[in-house]
Amino acid sequence: MAVSAAVAGASGYAGGEVLRLLLTHPEVRIGALTGNSNAGQRLGALQPHLYPLAERVLQPTAPEVLAGHDVVFLALPHGQSAAVAAELGDEVLVVDCGADFRLRDAGEWERFYGSPHAGTWPYGLPELPGGREALRGARRIAVPGCYPTAVSLGLFPAYAAGLAEPEAVIVAASGTSGAGKAAKPHLLGSEVMGSMSPYGVGGGHRHTPEMVQNLSAAAGEPVTVSFTPTLAPMPRGILATCSAKAKAGVTAQEVRAAYGKAFQGEPFARLLPEGQWPATGAVTGSNTALVQVALDESAGRIVAVCAIDNLAKGTAGGAVQSMNIALGLPEELGLSTTGVAP
Amino acid sequence: MAVSAAVAGASGYAGGEVLRLLLTHPEVRIGALTGNSNAGQRLGALQPHLYPLAERVLQPTAPEVLAGHDVVFLALPHGQSAAVAAELGDEVLVVDCGADFRLRDAGEWERFYGSPHAGTWPYGLPELPGGREALRGARRIAVPGCYPTAVSLGLFPAYAAGLAEPEAVIVAASGTSGAGKAAKPHLLGSEVMGSMSPYGVGGGHRHTPEMVQNLSAAAGEPVTVSFTPTLAPMPRGILATCSAKAKAGVTAQEVRAAYGKAFQGEPFARLLPEGQWPATGAVTGSNTALVQVALDESAGRIVAVCAIDNLAKGTAGGAVQSMNIALGLPEELGLSTTGVAP
Amino acid sequence: MAVSAAVAGASGYAGGEVLRLLLTHPEVRIGALTGNSNAGQRLGALQPHLYPLAERVLQPTAPEVLAGHDVVFLALPHGQSAAVAAELGDEVLVVDCGADFRLRDAGEWERFYGSPHAGTWPYGLPELPGGREALRGARRIAVPGCYPTAVSLGLFPAYAAGLAEPEAVIVAASGTSGAGKAAKPHLLGSEVMGSMSPYGVGGGHRHTPEMVQNLSAAAGEPVTVSFTPTLAPMPRGILATCSAKAKAGVTAQEVRAAYGKAFQGEPFARLLPEGQWPATGAVTGSNTALVQVALDESAGRIVAVCAIDNLAKGTAGGAVQSMNIALGLPEELGLSTTGVAP
Amino acid sequence: MAVSAAVAGASGYAGGEVLRLLLTHPEVRIGALTGNSNAGQRLGALQPHLYPLAERVLQPTAPEVLAGHDVVFLALPHGQSAAVAAELGDEVLVVDCGADFRLRDAGEWERFYGSPHAGTWPYGLPELPGGREALRGARRIAVPGCYPTAVSLGLFPAYAAGLAEPEAVIVAASGTSGAGKAAKPHLLGSEVMGSMSPYGVGGGHRHTPEMVQNLSAAAGEPVTVSFTPTLAPMPRGILATCSAKAKAGVTAQEVRAAYGKAFQGEPFARLLPEGQWPATGAVTGSNTALVQVALDESAGRIVAVCAIDNLAKGTAGGAVQSMNIALGLPEELGLSTTGVAP
């Protein structure tokens, strides 16, 4: 195997999922695993599902530990990636699962994150127009946020084809793993089971400007986004319901054709047959995005729904897919299109 | 106790919830319980949670069984209520938990239900403008649909105050009990746990014209509704995320004031304090609707979220509340504002 | 209303459930509510399901706050009850939901809790032989643990009737609320949904000596208990599967008769009809214990299963039921035998 | 790829899981897929998670459809396998996921299944003493039941080492997929979420004689089994809590050594490090069995807990593992030891 990979932040959900995928990657050898407060512990105690790595011990997230690998995955809290990446040579592929390098607009970054903008890296969503090309040969990759992955795949075809007005309304439900592994009372099983709740309502969620960026690029004009995330009683999965007013005269056939064309040949994004709607349960553990679209003629809106696994296609799968492209490997390596269901 | 009540359809989820509430109602004596295929069975075998009624035996849903009660609750499949009601005298209060008499527009009824319109009864959502008055002394009540209850409470204040453009976009998540107790493969626990999925996308859900009816009445002009329902992995609860473009110049303070005014004095609808968002888990078993609202200034939209228990406030609670008003009883009897949580 | 009640520890799950029940109690007026780190906060922010108490503000858990009530419920971490109770007069009824005063054997206490034994109070499980009598007029009550409640109700009839050998084997599944509201990583929704796991295996769970105490008292001889608790992906409920070798010659009829007799006339414990097995979902929010029993003739064992709501009959419901007995009130006040299902 | 495989019963949960695994098997080409009432449908409509097979169409389960494959997996209702297998040549490897050929004792078969005994095939649990050898070169394989897999792996080490008395007590929790995909009211999501319930209590579950068979073989003497299965609110997973009285003088060290030895070198069964207990969530989608054991010195019992994925190691994974052994392929092909978590 030619490629050595380190994972910084191996004890969290994103890092764990990167490892789960790399274990099946025929061209990758898993190198150093690092953690912060968990350094020194066996991975088996922290990620008991990663049985083949159970006896690995976490090291501190330090430059000398990460050095010497071909690829370094960063699954760190926001704001920490720039410093770590700066210590790694330009020839090392750094794949950042965090937010630091996703946005092009420094003002938007500062407005939503309240800190100076670290920069912009090639964006790891190859299904977007021009997305694949931007990743070839890259040595720095910003993995998209989980919500923007689902939302962009759900709506970019309508915008790229000029079918939708530039005001998108999105409500998305996410499994709790999207909120991470840090113990907070509102994320306790007792609180989330049997309950749905919104958060970040009214435009405050940090993934909003990333959606604006992607949809505006597809549309060729500024698109506003009303985004409401909700927490659903399930560990994994995002279901994004996305709609926009159809431009005058747009027909259902045009909408369907645009989506069919947008996903043609894509290994990991699929327009479902008419009459079948996506369920997040069908993509658990898989890198597939399932999309369906309808034209609501009474309301005059294009309504698209996209289901992904937030940790797979929404984070770690997108990261591995982008790595494959950057390194010139077959894009499907280490990734599954088969979900674990029921 | 002065009021005798029969429940037709006592083996289903709606009928069971009506009984659960009536068991706590100090003025109601529970009379005949009827079922269809389950006639002859002990209620304890069908609704084991209704312990005090365990030894009751279901009778067939027949006029002679239902006759002689002051109130008859109908929790029957759509299309069956008219025939049953026709056999009951005008002095009997008939509370229909089904859809048959909810819509005023016969054309819309026929378009969505594909059968002749049975008529229109007073509508059991007292929180709507004029809603309470329409129920006083009524002897026929159409209980609103579960989704229209949540959506109407979520958006009518914005429309009644003239703050929103007449194009509403709604995405709602419902617990599986909303789909009833008939065994269908896609409702199996194995299928729904860990999964979110949409249905009726693109304007086809039968609750849509009811939302149009309520919001248009509040707005005083026709309102279009884009409605996407989703099935969530929980037994109970609806979380409705509702938005509409704010009219030019509308401020957050105006929005908040409108909602505060709309719910002032309401026993079962509450605008949460700023910063707190509703969770369906907080209203399980309760008749309370929790509402919060925000103005998204970037997207120019009013975003309101309403959480209810689909079986309680969304069906049986609304039914009992409306019965109380119709009979001149205190509105809160038999109803709780306390949820069972966690 | 004659009785004023304070609740110490009102922000936790046990305290919240005590309040939920007291809100429906016709003879109780809810007085002071206290918390520790949450003192000063609105209850509405901490327990949003307790809508009627939303504007109440938590006070510190201090003697002067708790003084002057007829009843004080303690829902505090283990080890804190003795000091608080010492400051309350002998005429005040103190109902302790914690473990401090449950065990009679000081040695067992010290072995399992590692601290000096605080004493023994009348035990709040009225269904046990002599249990109700011990509570009449009491001014100190130790509420049983949730697991011992389910296990004792499941097996005492077999022991009291002399039908079972004195070696009990118990495996119980509990909802996550039994583990409390403190945020710990293994209790995150992401970790518990879709997963069952054991804990305290091999005799280490602190509820074990309480089971030994109750079953030995019923048997009139020392009973050993092998107890394995498991964490189930649900917020509430305990399902205890309890078995013991049948004494030679015992028949299924004798077993059934013993259970029927044990629960005869009990308002909150019920032997289900033959062929029907208890589900925790049927007792959510209810004070009912559902029990079923079988004689496995091949294995020679009596197998009993008991389902309760761990927070209701298993904690707060047991507390209120015991309070009613102690104060000479009707035992059912403030308690429901109707579950919230589905 | 050398091996062609057909799957009879491809629309159910067991058949779907066989396909999920075969899709990753480097030596297998998936041939005919058959169904009964679903013949003629696209697999994508029935098993949307099996994306690479979405366009495959189910054929009827008929000899001419299954003929010509190297391996035929049968995932059929009980009682149908014998007739299908009789039509397949002796050189075809038939792997039966059903119960028909698991039991050696015809009397026990008839007692539990009420039909004539079809025979006994080599038993697909290679971890049992002599289990692997019995499968080499086999052309008929009876895949163990899901519960017997978990229970046998949990207790055979204690019996094989002569440490336990021959009376086992087992309580196991299973995810709902174990009950299959046929729509039954008690398996609705509304019924199972938030609820645990037992079934087949008192010795009636059909997997009991299979446990007796395996544990008795390990012990070299007849072992009685008290088995209580419970239905847990999760789609997948079995957690089996198994105990037996320790023989006099047995020490914790002996117990641990026996389990360590029993699983030494096993690719798919693992004794966890001391202090760590198995969770079903860690083995979702994986072929791993996680086992832990303790000696409860107070109760004098060996308590072992085993977690598996009921559809993977408990059914389809066991089937593929056994196929690999029978065909002389590396045992790990097409099987993962990595779970999908959280």
Give pLDDT tens digits for D92-106. Answer: 999 999 999 999 999
Instruction: Please name the residue ranges forming H helices in D8-58.
Output: 13-22, 43-46
Cβ-defined contact of D286 to A52 (cutoff 8 Å)? no
Cα separation values, D129 from C154, D136, D289, D305, D329, Å: 38, 14, 16, 19, 20
Out of A234, A243, A299, the one facing B194 most closely (by C-beta) is A234
- Distance set, CA A285 to CA A20, B208, B272, D16, D339 (Å): 9, 35, 37, 15, 9
Closest CA to C207 of C163, C240, C165: C240
Residue C193 with chain A: CB contacts under 8 Å: 176, 189, 192-193, 233-235
How many residues does this entry show for chain B? 342
Q: Please write the tens of the pLDDT for every residue from D204-252.
A: 899 999 999 999 999 999 999 999 999 999 999 999 999 999 999 999 9
Q: Which two tokens stand for residue D145?
A: 């039941």
Determine contact: A119 vs chain D, CB below 8 A.
no
Cβ distance A9 to A35 under 8 Å? yes
Structure tokens at A25: 């990657």
- For tokens 């009879």, what's the residue? D8
For residue B1, what pLDDT is reported? Answer: 55
pLDDT at D210: 98
C-alpha–C-alpha distance, residues B13 and B174, integer Å: 14
Share of chain D residues as helix, strand and coil, in percent rounded to the nearest 5: 30, 25, 45
Q: How much of chain C is in helix, strand and coil states, percent to nearest 5?
A: 30, 25, 45
Identify all chain C residues contacting D193, using CB atoms and an 8 Å cutoff.
234, 342
Residue A78: the pLDDT is 87
CB proximity under 8 Å: A 258-287 to B = 277-282, 284
CA angle A75/A81/A86 to nearest 5° reads 135
Are the CB atoms for B219 and B167 separated by under 8 Å?
A: no
For residue D58, the distance in angstroms to the closest alpha carbon of chain C comes to: 30
Q: Do D272 and D278 contact (CB within 8 A), yes or no?
A: yes
Predicted pLDDT at A1: 55
Average pLDDT score over chain C: 97
Cα A31 to Cα C275: distance, rounded to the nearest angstrom: 57
C251 part of contact set with chain B, CB < 8 Å = no
Beta-carbon separation of D296 and C236 below 8 A: no
Question: Residue for token digits 């009950």?
Answer: D179
Between CA C153 and CA C148 the distance in angstroms is: 8
Q: Are A207 and A227 in contact (CB under 8 A)?
A: yes
Tally of residues, chain A: 342
**Looking at CA atoms only, how far is residue C178 from chain A in angstroms?**
9
CA-CA-CA-CA dihedral for D54, D60, D65, D70, to nearest 10: 60
pLDDT value for D1:
55
Which residues of D are catalytic, by number? Answer: 146
Q: What is residue A130's three-state secondary structure?
A: coil
Collect contacts of A108-113 with beta carbons under 8 A, ≥24 apart: A108/A209, A108/A212, A108/A213, A109/A209, A111/A209, A112/A206, A112/A208, A112/A209, A113/A78, A113/A79, A113/A206
Res D202: pLDDT: 92
Q: Which chain C positions have a beta carbon within 8 Å of D255's beta carbon?
A: none
**Interchain contact B203–A (C-beta under 8 A):** yes
C41-56: average pLDDT:
97
Query: Six-digit token pair at C91?
Result: 């005429």
* Nearest-angstrom CA–CA distance, D64 and B24: 63
How do residues C111-138 score in pLDDT, each as one tens digit? 999 999 999 999 999 999 999 999 999 9
**A233: nearest Cα among B174, D279, D196:** B174
In the predicted structure, residue C1 carries a pLDDT above the cut 90: no
CB atoms near residue C256 (< 10 Å): 17
Partner A contacted by C342 (CB < 8 A) = no
**Chain B: nearest CA to D45, how far in angstroms?**
12
CA angle D197, D203, D208 (to 5 degrees): 100
Does an H or E element contain C199, and which?
none
Element (H, E) at A321: helix A317-327
* Record: contact A339-D49, CB cut-off 8 A: yes
From D188, D233, D234, residue closest to B188, measured CB to CB: D188
CB-based burial, B162-199: b 16+ in 10 Å, e otherwise: ebbbbbbbbbbbbbbbbbebeeeeebbbbbbbbbbbbb
Is the CB of residue B150 less than 8 Å from the CB of residue B240?
Answer: yes
- B130 burial class (0-12, 13-18, 19+ CB within 10 angstroms)? exposed
Segment D284-292 mean pLDDT = 98
Where residue D320 falls among pLDDT bands split at 50, 70, 90? Answer: very high
Q: Which residues of chain A have pLDDT under 70?
A: 1
The structural domains of chain A, ordered by start, are 3-143+315-327 (3.40.50.720), 147-308 (3.30.360.10)
Per DSSP, B109 falls in state H
User: Looking at chain C, which subunits does it touch, using at least 3 CB pairs closer than 8 Å as the criterion?
Assistant: A, B, D
The SS3 assignment for B61 reads coil
Would you list the DSSP string of A183-237?
--GGGBHHHHTT--EE-STTTT-TTHHHHHHHHHHHHTS--EEEEEEEE-SSSS-
pLDDT per residue as tens, chain B (342 positions): 589 999 999 999 999 999 999 999 999 999 999 998 999 999 999 999 999 999 999 999 999 999 999 999 999 998 999 999 999 999 999 999 999 999 999 999 999 999 999 999 999 999 999 999 999 999 999 999 999 999 999 999 999 999 999 999 999 999 999 999 999 999 999 999 999 999 999 998 999 999 999 999 999 999 999 999 999 999 999 999 999 999 999 999 999 999 999 999 999 999 999 999 999 999 999 999 999 999 999 999 999 999 999 999 999 999 999 999 999 999 999 999 999 999
